[in-house]
């Protein structure tokens, strides 16, 4: 795995210094119109502003967004710049996907390129942070409303809506927050099996509303998150007890997706190994220019705070850090996107053509 990462490395570094416009242009030779829309479900890795509308608040203040689109644009993204969902939209030739709660009903009646329902803190289960975030059930309820009420205004015929949904990409990244209760880790095999079953039921509900093409992240190595690494011995190491419990879920996730594929006509998917990717960056970080692989860039989050405090001064060079706060930096999201969508090293396709080899 690591040698593959290293081979791609020099190319990643070369492309990172190119202006973004030319990176987008390089995808034009592919049939990017294949996916008319991108719909996004999940947690803070890909929330782009939904939580700003909740009483608990989102990441809508500086230094969040300090590197977003020219700089100093906090949006609710829990990182210094773009998320993986942003890089995916760029890869598909689509505009950045807007957060559902940002949109008026009038705007929802006009959007045909996808909506982001993701919410920081949410998990698979209805009782995971259900006061402070939009649960996956709530996200699916909003998507249901999009299908039933808004897409009818965009498309005239029922068949057009069905076609639109069946060709669109559905990105789902969730599960890590279910492993924590009040910030305390609570993983065991029974929980993993329960989560996989509950996840399957919800993917099936999204399918029943018309979705066919899925990109699914596995669960990241939460034992390596800064709030856990600071307490590990020696400091900065991963808590492997946490990672082991999460691995139990992750090992079964591809099987569960295959079962769905054999059961549901037209179901296709790409499985992304977010866990393996983030562990890999820890090991081979230096070769990416990432020299700090456990201390987050936002200073107060080194000591276990989950979020940056407003207007704290972050590290001067974000591109040398793996973590921004509890979440990866933009550069890490960009490397993920490159390895998944262009190299195909961390992503595997099952009947879904999403990976365009350079």
Ligand X SMILES: *[C@@H]1O[C@H](CO)[C@@H](O)[C@H](O)[C@H]1NC(C)=O
44 tagged catalytic: yes
- Residue ranges binding ligand X (CB under 6 A): 126-127, 130, 182
- Residue nearest ligand X, CB atom distance: 127
- Shortest separation between residue 154's beta carbon and ligand X, angstroms: 31
- Shortest separation between residue 326's beta carbon and ligand X, angstroms: 18
Asked whether the beta carbons of 63 and 196 are under 8 A apart, the reply is no
DSSP 185: E
What is the chain's percent helix, strand, coil content, to nearest 5? 45, 10, 40
Residue tagged active-site, from 44, 119, 133, 173: 44
- Shortest separation between residue 127's beta carbon and ligand X, angstroms: 3
Looking at beta carbons only, is 43 or 319 nearer to ligand X?
43
Token pair of 249 as six digits: 């879920």
- Shortest separation between residue 182's beta carbon and ligand X, angstroms: 4
- Shortest separation between residue 39's beta carbon and ligand X, angstroms: 23
Residue tagged active-site, from 258, 268, 327, 349: 327
Looking at beta carbons only, is 3 or 182 nearer to ligand X?
182
Looking at beta carbons only, is 132 or 268 nearer to ligand X?
132
Residue tagged active-site, from 67, 239, 273, 325: 325
Asked whether the beta carbons of 68 and 77 are under 8 A apart, the reply is yes
| Long-range pairs for 100-105: beta carbons < 8 A, 24 or more residues apart | 100/50, 100/139, 100/142, 100/146, 101/49, 101/50, 101/52, 101/53, 101/54, 101/134, 102/49, 102/50, 102/52, 102/53, 105/150
Looking at beta carbons only, is 41 or 341 nearer to ligand X?
41
Bridge partners, 214 (sequence order): 170, 269
Token pair of 303 as six digits: 């000591």
DSSP 271: E
Looking at beta carbons only, is 29 or 184 nearer to ligand X?
184
Task: Give the CA-trace dihedral at 268, 351, 38, 272, to 10 degrees.
Answer: 90
325 tagged catalytic: yes
Residues with a catalytic annotation lie at 44, 325, 327
């Amino acid at each position: 795995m690591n040698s593959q990462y290293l081979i791609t490395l020099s190319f990643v570094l070369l492309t990172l210094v190119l202006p973004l416009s030319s990176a987008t242009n390089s995808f034009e030779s592919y049939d990017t119109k294949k996916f008319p829309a991108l719909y996004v479900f999940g947690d803070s890795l890909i929330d782009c502003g939904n939580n700003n509308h909740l009483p608990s608040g989102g990441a809508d203040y500086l230094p969040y967004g300090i590197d977003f689109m020219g700089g100093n644009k906090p949006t609710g993204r829990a990182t210094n710049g773009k998320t993986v969902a942003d890089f995916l939209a760029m890869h598909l030739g689509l505009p950045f996907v807007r957060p559902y709660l940002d949109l008026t009903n009038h705007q929802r009646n006009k959007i045909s390129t996808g909506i982001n329902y993701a919410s920081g803190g949410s998990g698979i289960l209805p009782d995971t942070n259900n006061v402070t975030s939009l649960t996956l059930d709530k996200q699916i309820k909003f998507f249901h409303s999009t299908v039933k009420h808004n897409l009818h205004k965009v498309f005239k015929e029922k068949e057009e809506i069905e076609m639109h949904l069946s060709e669109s990409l559905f990105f789902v990244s969730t599960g890590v927050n279910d492993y924590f209760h009040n910030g305390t880790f609570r993983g065991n095999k029974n929980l993993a099996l329960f989560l996989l079953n509950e996840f399957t039921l919800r993917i099936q509900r999204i399918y029943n509303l018309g979705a066919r093409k899925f990109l699914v992240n596995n669960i990241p190595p939460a034992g390596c998150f800064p709030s856990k690494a600071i307490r590990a011995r020696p400091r900065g190491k991963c808590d492997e007890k946490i990672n082991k419990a999460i691995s139990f879920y992750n090992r079964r996730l591809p099987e569960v997706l295959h079962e769905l594929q054999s059961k549901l006509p037209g179901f296709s998917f790409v499985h992304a190994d977010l866990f393996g990717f983030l562990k890999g960056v820890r090991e081979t970080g230096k070769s990416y220019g990432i020299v700090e692989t456990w201390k987050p860039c936002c200073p107060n989050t080194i000591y276990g705070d989950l979020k940056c405090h407003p207007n704290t001064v972050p590290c001067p060079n974000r591109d040398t850090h793996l973590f921004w706060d509890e979440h990866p930096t933009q550069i890490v999201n960009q490397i993920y996107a490159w390895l998944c969508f262009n190299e195909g090293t961390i992503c595997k396709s099952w009947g879904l053509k999403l990976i365009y080899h350079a």
